[in-house]
Amino acid sequence: MKIKLKKGKQTKLILLAKDGLTWKQLAEILEMSEAYLSGDIRKENILISEKIYKKLCEISKVNFDRFIVEKLKDNWGRSKGGFNSLGSTKQLPEVEFNKKLAEFVGAVLGDGHVHSTKKDLKKRKVGVYQIRIAGDAKLDENYHNYLKKIGDSLFKLNSKILLVPNTSTRFLTFYSKKLVDFFVKMDINPGNKIINQSTIPNWIYEGDNFLKACLRGLIDTDGCIHRMSKRDFNLIRINFTNYDLKLLQDAWQAFVKLGFHPSEITENKRFYLSRKNEISKYLKEIGFSNKRHKDRLKAFQSPVI
């Protein structure tokens, strides 16, 4: 549910909760982007969820129930002048800027593609808008099911999984013009990612947990893990390969921001994490959602024959 307060009261409640805190501190407590909180939510361009409303009342130690004008369903709409508009196009709900979204964005930046085009079918132009994530037909089945649950939950869409006949390729596809618009708002544009220089959206840098989730999505799609020694399980390496140099550099900087020491970027397409203590740090603080990486890591624990 979304909580609609009397005009000015949402801003007032947020400022009361912020008293003595920085925007960053309050955003971390609420588990959302600092920019999102201090921008659209503070300015009342976007309604707050019932969960956030209760947290704000708890932090500020005030009860604003008397100022509630209406409680609206989650699919009421994103914001005034936001991504929703009148017409036959299916609307998105208010999408929360959280760790799940950050991880999904990472997967799209890795193996995904934003598609926007118009086709002329019998002289009637029809728009085709989709977010598509590619994977291995067998190895990524579990991971695509995982991403499907995240995406369907975040965007309230019914995504489709397609196995391409006579190939080892599978696609997880979300069909929605509004979802494409949403990604464009994050500067992830339709077309060739390398030409567009698509990279990690600014809001993800607002919190370390968002950044860790996004990097997990990137490594789960464009990363791999391998053993550096057949005699010592602990000597393993995680590498990230991507031909979008801007994304590659920003992912490298993201790891540095989180206290890692990645290798230099080689051949303008990859870098590694190989320090023993930092592999442990990665597994503890970031980890994998892709089962193929989990299985590979588990196999390393077995004696090498």
Which residues span the domain enclosing 12?
Answer: 2-74
Q: Do 64 and 135 belong together in one domain?
A: no
Residues 37 and 137 in one domain: no
Residue 89 lies in a domain: no
Residue 164 lies in a domain: yes
pLDDT means over runs of 10, the chain (305 residues) = 90 92 88 77 85 91 92 53 43 90 97 80 62 94 96 93 90 94 92 88 91 97 85 78 94 95 94 92 96 89 51
pLDDT of residue 181: 93
165 and 266 share one domain: yes
In a domain, 141, yes or no: yes
Q: Is residue 233 part of a domain?
A: yes
For residue range 46-98, list pLDDT tens digits in order. Answer: 788 888 999 999 999 999 999 999 887 654 443 333 333 333 367 888 898 99
**Does 211 fall in a domain?**
yes
What pLDDT is recorded for position 229? 66
| Domain count across the chain | 2
Q: What is the pLDDT of residue 196?
A: 86
Q: How do residues 13-46 score in pLDDT, each as one tens digit?
A: 999 999 989 988 898 888 777 777 887 788 887 7
Measure the CA angle with vertex 50, ends 11 and 92; round to 5°. Answer: 90
Residues 57, 107 within the same domain: no
Q: Residue 16: which CATH number? A: 1.10.260.40
The predicted pLDDT at position 188 comes to 93
Residues 117 and 257 in one domain: yes
Q: Which of 40, 74, 108 is the last residue of a domain?
A: 74
In this structure, the answer to whether residues 143 and 178 fall within a common structural domain is yes
Do 106 and 168 lie in one domain? The reply is: yes
Residue 91 is assigned to a structural domain of this protein: no
For the question of whether the overall pTM of this predicted structure is more than 0.75, the answer is no
CATH of residue 114's domain is 3.10.28.10
- CB of 151 closer than 8 Å to CB of 157: yes
Q: So what's the pLDDT on residue 301?
A: 65
**In this structure, is residue 82 part of a structural domain?**
no
Cβ pair 129, 175 in contact under 8 A: yes
Q: Provide the pLDDT for residue 283.
A: 94
Residue 255 and residue 151 share a domain? yes
Show the tokens assigned to 191: 């077309």
Residues 218 and 288 in one domain: yes
